Structure 1
Amino acid sequence: MTTTVLAAGDRFVLPRLLSDAVRARADADIGVRELELPWPHVPFGPVAEVQEASGTEEELIAALSGVRVCVTQMAPLTERVLAACPDLELFCVSRGGPVNANLDAATRHGVAVCFAPGRNAAATAEHTLGLILAAARHIPDLHTDLREGRWRGDFYDYDNCGVGIEGTAVGLVGYGAIGRRVAAALSALGARILVHDPYVTEDALPETATKVTLDDLLAHARIVSLHARLTPETRGIIGTDEIAAMRPGGVLVNCARGGLVDYDAVRRALESGHLHAAAFDVYAEEPVPPDSRLLKAPNVVLTPHVAGASRQVAHKAADLVAAEVHRFLDGRPLAHCANPAVLDTDGVLRGRKGRGE
């Protein structure tokens, strides 16, 4: 029996990347149908009850007719879509989390939802390192000044000099896949790494890193970079009091989640000079409102939530979900299922025991 797969890509994880990855791994009889969603040319947003989705329920329902497997980055999996698409069994999201899928509804309909953890860890770590260097050494401002005809030799004045990495204490709040990569890169540049992560044990850290409390990290680190997940416990983890506890002349960087930081407190600290610089790729509100005072703050480097944007990420995302499709077709356990209640004790979708049965 031919299995029909919908490759619902967009302008980042292209439909052809998803199709090619699925076909490259499949040794079963499959047919691949493609749908292109408008993200990022059209911003993602809520679609019915799910968040951060692209496209409409209507176009996805039409495209899913007769489809058992969907691989996508942004397509909305809603109660309405699930009710209208009874053939669907597997929905693979090529992102670090399936925020575009209604997991409760998928579980009720017996649809397994998979995701792609770690797909952009390397790219985000690289971007973080770039922002740390750019903010600490004022690279964007110096670039702009030179293009406008100003030769800023005064940055050799001791009071204006940037912050170097070698010998500097860098604090990482969160030590997952991204934090580990950032730590390795900064250690190679001679930084001393301080880590605050309640889920990491001291013996899991390299010799170049030390586990500390958040208070100790803020008191001793010259550069603080955030890599924590956004949870009720971490929301607003860096606010007015925490910034005040940082060393004068410190640098704050966030490529994790906007909800970790009080950006008004950051702006005030930049304007007062308490913070030497800051750099952000994520924000409390996205896109950043054009009247946001953060956009006018001194010594701040801003990028529009693109830390995970590299061509390698798009290919890796497609490969990760294609691997899940291959496991599904073989009747093997799924590796990254977000709603395991639909699986049997072996990790296989209930009722799915291999393509020959």
Structure 2
Amino acid sequence: MTDKPRVLVTAAFDPDVVARLSERFHVTVIEPSLDGLSLAEMGLERELAAADVIVAELDVVDEATLALAPDLQLVVSCRAKPVNVDLDACAARGIPVATTPGRNAEVTADLSFALLLATVRHVSASERWLRAGNWSDDDVFEPYSIFRSIGLGGRTLGILGGGAVGARVLKRARGFGMTVKVYDPFLPADAFGDEAVVAPLDEVLSTSDIVTVHVPLMPETEGLLGARELALLKPSAFLINAGRAAIIDETALMDVLRDHRIAGAGFDVYYQEPLPHDSELLALDNVTLTPHIAGASDDVIGEHSRIAAEALVTWADGGQPRAIANARQLAAAASTTA
């Protein structure tokens, strides 16, 4: 037996962080699953019965899970948005749900900028062309002609969303000598000082050479870029989305791409995932595609492990972790029972 709080970890987790946590907690680590199942379906009845805390990433913490965990006091979702946790069910039990915001901000900014470069400089298209055996002695300079594009220095990058990822993309853009405009209605005009101008959406869209999407998906931003907004883009502009597909209206976007109304686009996110094999996007020659890999990095595991550990220590010390996803539900449940 142990007086240490019992922590059940089913997320991918940094072993060094586990070792440090073991000084204060009894930590049980389960091999991560990619199935996205309820923890109640994974044969963990004994572990759940003993758990004071669950740390999960893909596994679902639902009512069935809570029924098997009578001593549960805290859930940590290793996500920025805890879509794997039933927030209301946890609140009804008085269980706070902590999250790991910004865990993949750095690597998502990296991938976003890599996708931007690959799109603007035709990296994927030129590689496919080369691998297909098209480069010949008959015209050694042909690729120089057909894959010609723009440089980034002196160009304007429009960033939609100046949060954790958008702010990091800004830094990368400045390193390439770009002028940056940011659309974010929650930021003051001087949020980035001399590094960027915070401007209205229409101005950002109509004056940028490249636009990259990093606003969070919520009712107010779903379909933020519709037919009217996309029509504001310059014919020479590029559109990059490694954020959320639903920020851009699908019908309007496909019309723009089919008609080549912009120079090109790069996507890491899609309206349906996995991307169907018969998706029209796969047939378009003006689009660069990656299979939702922005967060695919070992560094993300290290970062969410660090943030989760911080939440656990704060909780064990009697405090409240800094990012509680169901604070509103907890307050409502408390008022109901008062």
**Correspondent of 2:277 among 290, 303, 307:** 290
- Post-superposition offset of 1:210: 1.1
State the shift of 1:244 in Å.
1.8
Task: Report how far residue 124 of structure 1 moved.
Answer: 0.3
One-letter amino acid of the structure 2 residue matched with residue 156 of structure 1: Y
CA distance in 2, matches of 1:3, 1:190: 51
Partner of 1:96: 80
Contact 1:26 1:326 in 2 (8 A): no
Contact 1:267 1:297 in 2 (8 A): no
Asked whether the 8 Å contact 1:111–1:342 carries over to 2, the reply is no
Give the match for residue 230 of structure 2: 243
Q: Which amino acid aligns with 1:148?
A: A
Structure 1 position 343, deviation (Å): 7.5
TM-score (norm 1): 0.85
Say yes or no: does 1:209 pair with 2:193.
Answer: no
Amino acid at match of 1:188: G
Q: 1:53-92, aligned counterparts within 5 Å?
A: 53-59=36-42, 62=45, 63-92=47-76
Offset at 1:2? Answer: 3.1
Q: 1:91 to 1:20 in 2, by over 3 A?
A: farther
Q: Does 1:221 align with 2:180?
A: no
CA distance in 1, matches of 2:93, 2:187: 37
- Structure 2 segments unaligned to the other structure (5+ residues): 332-338
After TM superposition, give the deviation of residue 208 of structure 1 in Å. Answer: 2.9
- Change in Cα spacing, 1:341 to 1:170, as seen in structure 2 (3 Å) is closer
The match for 1:112 is: 96
Q: Secondary structure at the match of 1:202?
A: coil
Q: Whose strand fraction is larger, Structure 1's or Structure 2's?
A: 1
SS at match of 2:256: helix
**In structure 1, the residue corresponding to 2:263 is in which secondary structure?**
strand
Which residue matches 2:336? Answer: none
User: Map of 1:190-201 to 2, 5 A cutoff?
Assistant: 190-201=177-188
Secondary structure in 1 aligned to 2:49?
A: coil
Alignment of 1:24 onto 2:20: yes
1:149 is matched by which residue type in structure 2?
Answer: G
Superposition RMSD in Å:
2.0
Deviation, 1:342, is 8.3
Contact 1:37 1:55 in 2 (8 A): no
1:22–1:325 CA contact under 8 A, matched in 2: no
Q: Is the CA contact 2:40–2:68 (under 8 Å) kept in the aligned structure 1?
A: no
- Residue equivalent to 1:131: 115
Structure 1 position 55, deviation (Å): 5.0
Partner of 2:212, secondary structure, is strand
The CA distance in 2 between the partners of 1:60 and 1:234, in whole Å, is 40
Compute the displacement of 1:34 (Å). Answer: 2.2
**Deviations, residues 223-267 of structure 1 (Å, cap 9, x unaligned):** 000010111111111222222211002100001111111334333
Return 5+ residue gaps in structure 1 as ranges. Answer: 43-52, 345-357
1:141 shift after superposition: 0.8
Q: Is the 8 A contact 1:195 1:212 kept in 2?
A: yes
For 2:96 and 2:108, the matched residues in 1 are separated by 28
Alignment of 1:264-279 (within 5 A): 264-279=251-266
What is the deviation of 1:27?
3.6
**Which residue of 1 is the match for residue 286 of structure 2?**
299
Change over 3 Å in CA distance of 1:60–1:21 after alignment to 2:
farther
- Percentage of matched positions with identical amino acids: 34
Q: 1:3 aligns with which of 2, 5, 9?
A: 5
Using the alignment, how far apart are the partners of 2:74 and 2:108 within structure 1? 28
The Cα shift of 1:213 comes to 1.2
1: CA distance, partners of 2:142 / 2:283: 22
SS in 2 for 1:190: coil
Change (3 A) 1:224 1:342: closer
Amino acid at match of 2:144: Y
* CA distance in 2: counterparts of 1:293 and 1:170, whole angstroms: 27
Q: Secondary structure at the match of 2:17?
A: helix
Residues 323 and 342 (structure 1), Cα distance of their counterparts in 2 relative to 1, 3 Å cut: farther
Q: Which amino acid aligns with 1:3?
A: P
Deviation at 1:56, TM superposition (A): 4.7
Residue 231 of structure 2: SS of its match in structure 1? helix
Of 194-203 and 81-90, deviating more is 81-90
Pick one of 156, 162, 175 that aligns with 2:149: 162
1:173·1:226 contact (CA, 8 Å) conserved in 2? yes
Deviation at 1:184, TM superposition (A): 1.0
